[in-house]
Amino acid sequence: MISIVIVSHSAKLAEGVRDLAYEMADDSVKIAAAGGLDDDTIGTNAERIYSALTDVYTEDGVLVLVDLGSAVMSTEMAIEMLPEHQQANVLISNAPLVEGAVVSGVEALSGKTLQKVNEAAEKAREMTKVRR
């Protein structure tokens, strides 16, 4: 089963997304939150992301959901800190953070591959929330 890492500029946001994804999935999916800076301000920190990646790493793969901007760069730096054979098993998703995380949790639980979970997460961008 794949694992999930939530990267955000805000620690609260990352933890909240993890909590929500766990509400829809269950504890058998490993989901780690990596948000904010060490002084509790807004930003992303490659070491914090690296630590989340190593906490939940599995050969089945790790899908990383990000908020925006430098979250991608920090995640790429974190992935480069991993042993080379692990790096190919980590994928940064283009999915919207909250919607993609909820879908990923459910799809991971069903045993889908990393690519398939990511496809489902990225489709969450087409989600219609309210009909007019």
Catalytic positions, written as ranges? 9
Q: Map the footprint of a copy of itself across residues 70-99, applying CB under 8 A.
A: 71-72, 92-94, 96-99
Please give the backbone phi and psi of residue 114, each rounded to the nearest 5 degrees, phi first. Answer: -55, -45
| List 10, 44, 45, 89, residue binding a copy of itself (CB under 8 A) | 10
- Asked if 3 contacts 90 with a C-beta cutoff of 8 angstroms, the reply is no
Q: Tell me the CA distances in angstroms from 31 to 13, 16, 64, 118, 121, one per residue in order.
A: 14, 12, 10, 15, 15
Of 26, 108, 13, which is closest to residue 63 (Cα–Cα)? 108
Listed ranges 44-52, 54-62, 67-75, 109-117: which one lies at the site for a copy of itself (CB under 8 A): 67-75
Residue 67 within binding range of a copy of itself, rule CB under 8 A: yes
Enumerate binding residues for a copy of itself (CB under 8 A): 8-17, 19-20, 23, 35, 42, 66-68, 71-72, 92-94, 96-99, 102, 124-130
